[in-house]
Structure 1
């Protein structure tokens, strides 16, 4: 009988440990889902709010890739103005390359500082354009 007690106790301990581990895994997955769901909804909401042709906030645009990213970007202060980049490479480029901080207005063909631009989502893939003002964008729309 004593020979059966030890293996039975060991089997119970292993079973209990297995159940406890699975329980924690399930709880962690539920927590992860709860934490990720609001973020996904926020990103989806942001993408729904900004359709092609809509003005987008500066902080949701990577100003190096000229792309709407759908979430806040890294702030890059340069000469008293705040630019935005999506990664450390973009941060470096905005800090060191003046041409990364300017764009060309598609209507007037004039150079415009990206922090002062009227930024519009041009394609559903995220491409943006920088206009001197909303008026320029409206004239651009009329002509295209």
Structure 2
């Protein structure tokens, strides 16, 4: 990315497809990219939409402490397996606690057979761990 490209944009969002073949789930690559961008233009904002790094909280920390401004991980659905749901919440919580001022963000899909109580529970959990939420 050239400096000319970076001058025209204030927020850069990276989406992470699965990189589960990498030991750190790709967090190191994203962290290096964010650091390079911030070195070139410190005032830009950087957002990464990530996987759950298979629950590897060290990978979350590496990315969160790279200069990243917004850590995004999608919950997807409230009635996913409890283990996957809890892991996603853990990743979002860890990102938020890893860096002061970190903005956390998620998306969630509704209308897939969830109960009213499941929705209320999810909103309560997400309110604690996430500043931005999008509903689909």
TM-score (norm 2): 0.23
Question: Which one has more relative contact order, counting CA pairs under 8 Å at least 6 apart?
Answer: 2
Larger radius of gyration: 1
TM-score (norm 1): 0.22
